[in-house]
Amino acid sequence: MATAKCLRSSVTYRPRFHLCIPLRAFPTSQHRHASSKHPQGFEPPTTSDLFELRERVQEFTRREITPEVASETDKSNSFPSEMWAKLGSAGFLGMTADEDVGGLAMGYQAHCIVMEEISRASGSIGLSYAAHSQLCVNQLQLNGTPGQKTKFLPNLIAGTQVGALAMSESGAGSDVVSMRTTAKEADGGYVLNGTKMWITNGPEADVIVVYAKTEPEKGSKGISAFIVEKHFKGFNCARKLDKMGMRGSNTGELVFDGVFVPKENMLGEVNRGVKVLMEGLDLERLVLSAGPLGIMQAALDVALPFTHQRTQFGSPVAHNQLVQGKLADMYTKLQASRSYTYETARKVDEGGDIRTQDCAGAIMYAAERATECALDCVQLLGGMGYVEEMPASRLVRDAKLYEIGAGTTEVRKIVIGRAFNKEFSSYAP
């Protein structure tokens, strides 16, 4: 399997607390039916493939995303730029991309594993990773022409360029169709004007998938997708945002002031941008749902040792039944969330079964549970949970993002409801 590309070193690392067991329980499927959402020649990975990959990612994070790196990334609100090349060298930036452009062609279970383990080490590095590898690389993989893939994917997968996706605007977040950025046809291409807000990797991105209205009067049927390159005249990042959490996952406001984009940089067909958007949206939600899993695991990594080391009234606080109750809740929330995410990903990999309600449900459930687990971690640490010597407060601030970014909890519930309406439309009177 392509996991061999990740086996780049054999260094002895300091141990980190583990609870990574669910993948061993997944039966190896006999079905080998990849969907159009997968790279060429894709075969679903076996249980052993996935377990080996998880070990390799854990080795990478122990070496490259140490607690000190995670803490400094948060405090400085600055992404460690050298991390992109390291992620690229490990093979992690092209999990779902074709091998002929440098990808690993491993699918969505594998992508979730990498996302979970990176987020376990640092939520903010994990978020930037997903914006690059899923929102940008996978969109190009799914919708790019052969020429676009050849031009953009090798550098993005190698980590020599940074990718992003620009959809939201200050007045068009959940209601993305109300975007105001326009793209007017010009000789040989289109001219973009407008702004985009809350764009992860925006301040450093070299390649950005941008949505704009080519025919505003047509509403959702007049939106197109474009590949904007950093050097295009008129494009700039107006400001970097100072966020409550996910600090260091550089986020900005992008400005397009008469940016000329050549026709060959249109992603998909003209006025079919919503199709491009929707093609990747379910998969985006699925892969991002692994971010909260990593944060929950990190909360247990902190709380379990601490509560067994910290003594009060002559015994470890973990011997207190109220403390045991919180630990039990944290553990079961993680395992339930992890099972939902990976079962959904397994169905995508093995049968091409992409269910909107499950992709939305997985991230909705995991995001809410992650916030709860992170808050419980703070409570279990007591006074130490409220000081910055411990990572508990960072976990709370990072976890909350997943209830807001990439579609709020409320929007996810609407998405699930609409999926049911579509599925059961024949029952309507």
Residue numbers annotated as active site: 284
**Residue with the two structure tokens 């992690």:** 92
Q: What does the DSSP 8-state code read for residue 404?
A: T
Two structure tokens written together for 58: 């854990």
Cα–Cα nearest to 214, from 186, 237, 236: 186
Residues contacting 50, CB < 8 A, separation 6+: 23, 26, 109, 110, 113
Own/partner long-range contacts of 19-24 (Cβ < 8 Å, ≥24 apart): 19/297, 19/300, 19/331, 19/334, 20/54, 20/58, 20/297, 22/335, 22/338, 22/339, 22/342, 23/47, 23/50, 23/51, 23/54, 23/113, 23/342, 24/51
C-alpha to C-alpha distance for 374 and 393, rounded to whole angstroms: 8
In the beta sheet, which residues pair with residue 185? 190
Two structure tokens written together for 399: 């976890």
Q: Are 210 and 196 in contact (CB under 8 A)?
A: yes
The SS3 of residue 166 is strand
Phi, psi of 163 (to 5 degrees): -110, 160
- What's the chain's Rg over C-alpha atoms? 21
C-alpha to C-alpha distance for 347 and 338, rounded to whole angstroms: 14
